[in-house]
Structures are given as structure tokens and as C-alpha cells.
Amino acid sequence: MKFTLFNRVAGLRAGQHAVVTGGSSGLGLALARRFAARGLSVTLVARTETHLASAAADIVSAVPTAVIDYIPVDVADGSAVEAAFDELPAGLDVLVNSAGILREGYFERLAAIDFRTVMDVNFFGAVNTIRATLPRLKRRGGRIVNIASVAGLTGVFGYTPYCASKHALVGFTDALRFELNPQGVGVQLVCPGEFDSPMVDALELTRTPENRQHTLTIPKLGIDELADATVSGIDGGHQLIIPGAKTNVLVTAQRLAPGIANAIAQQRIAAVYRGPGL
């Protein structure tokens, strides 16, 4: 049995191998590029093969020494993940679960399938990849890094499916840590606020005014600032990483005084309230 003080995990090292789901875009790609620059070999995972190939080429052009591979698979499909991950080497040092999707809208206007799809990818996707890699992670005393969200720690207008999936991921991660840490596997949780990425570009096309107003409470980070802060938290072995000093303070305050935070948020939302119009 191996316990580390405060469950801290050792730093990243050259020669380690990382699997990054959602590695073809946004935060996953930005983390993969940083891992490659640190001398880790990286396997990118996402559904779209062409995007994976261009992400791999993008990393190699930035880091000519990079060793990058990719696996096209839908993380929501547990058996497909098991089969596809068969080709991974026997030992694995880092699993980052960054694959994620977003559905924003009024609860009454969302369909039941929106809830299922978001849970399937954002929550069960992580469960599936962890199940498929755990023996490899145990062999190397590796670490799991789950990318949740500030929306996994608090409620956000318009994010009923997304908040549910990210709260599930947060609870799962915090419970799993107790089981895996004694077996030498680190479990880290990242809860970013909004940051620039294709996910947010798509959101901007349809988002409700209430959601836009509510999310303005937390500063939006650029992808480089976000990825640098995330790698620094991963490297520092932190259990909970909330990238960005201001975001960290605001989220901590929200969690300490939820009544006040909710009252302020409700007031901001009221100023732009439109509602589902049903």
C-alpha cells in the first residue's frame, strides 16, 4: 500500500507515456503539445481521424522531437474503447480525460437525448477510458487527470445536462482517488472556467443571454494561460486544479458562501432574463 502526503502525485518526466482523450482540439491538444515538449510520448484520442492526424502533425511541427500516436474511438462506447486501447503499451503514466461535449439551453427546450448524450461522453467516457487503462496505470504508478469544469462545482444557467455530467465526474473522481491512491495511482481533477476553444466558438452561436450573463462572473482564460496553469497543477501533484488565480478565488468564495453567490448570480440573470418562452 502506498500513501502519499495529501495524495500528492510526482511531477511529469521525460520518457513517460500519456494518453489524452479530446487530444485533437482545445485543451486536450494544448496539453498534448506541452507534454510532448516535456519529452513525454503522447497518444491522442478522439472520434474524427482527420482531426487527430492534423493535431499530431501540428504537435510535431511545433516539437520536432515529439513522439505522437493517435487512436480514433468514441469514448462513450465502452467496448470500442476496450478494443481500441488494446494497442497501447503495457505501461501507462498519464491518462487525461479531456473529451467532452456541451449542450446549452433552457431545460424545457432540451430533449431527453441531450442529457443522455452529454452524460455518455462527459461522465461515462471517463469511466470507460479509466476501466480500459487501469491495469497499465497501476503497473507504472501512473496518474489520471479528469477535466471537469467550474460547472462541476456550481450550477450554471442553461447547463442542466452539462452541470449534471460534470458534477458526476467530480464525484466519481473524488471517490476514485480514495480507492486508487493506496494502489499508487494518482487522481487529479481540473475544473476550468470558460476558455477560448472550438467548444465555446460553437456555444456562442446559440447560447442563451442568461447563460452568457451568468458565465461572465468568472473571467474567460486564453487557451495558453489555461493549459500552462493546468500543466503546472498536474506537475505540482495537486488534487484539485482550478486554473487562473482570479477564477480560483471566485470559485472558492462561491463554495464558501453559496447563498450570497447565488443571490448575486440571480440578480445578474434577472437583468437579461428571457426564459424558454413556453
Ligand X SMILES: NC(=O)c1ccc[n+]([C@@H]2O[C@H](COP(=O)([O-])OP(=O)(O)OC[C@H]3O[C@@H](n4cnc5c(N)ncnc54)[C@H](OP(=O)(O)O)[C@@H]3O)[C@@H](O)[C@H]2O)c1
Residue 26 or 237: the one with the smaller Cβ distance to ligand X is 26
Q: Which residues, at least 6 apart from 87, have a Cβ–Cβ distance to it below 8 Å?
A: 71
Q: Report in angstroms how near the CB of residue 273 gets to ligand X at its nearest.
A: 23
Residue of 149, 169, 140 whose CA lies nearest to 221: 149
Contact of 43 with 17, CB cutoff 8 Å: yes
Q: Report in angstroms how near the CB of residue 160 gets to ligand X at its nearest.
A: 15
Residue 22 or 184: the one with the smaller Cβ distance to ligand X is 22
Q: Report in angstroms how near the CB of residue 54 gets to ligand X at its nearest.
A: 11
Residue 21 or 154: the one with the smaller Cβ distance to ligand X is 21
Residue 77 or 235: the one with the smaller Cβ distance to ligand X is 77
Q: Report in angstroms how near the CB of residue 60 gets to ligand X at its nearest.
A: 17
Q: How far is CA 227 from CA 18, 45, 196, 223, in A?
A: 15, 18, 11, 6
Question: Active-site residue 162, yes or no?
Answer: yes
Residue whose C-beta lies closest to ligand X: 26
Q: Could you give the CA distance from residue 39 to residue 68 in angstroms, rounded to a whole number? A: 11
Q: Which of 70, 106, 159, 162 is catalytic?
A: 162
Q: Could you give the CA distance from residue 23 to residue 33 in angstroms, rounded to a whole number? A: 9
Binding site for ligand X (CB under 6 A): 21-22, 24-28, 46-48, 51, 74-76, 98-101, 121, 125, 147, 149, 192, 194-195, 197-200
Active-site annotation, residues:
162
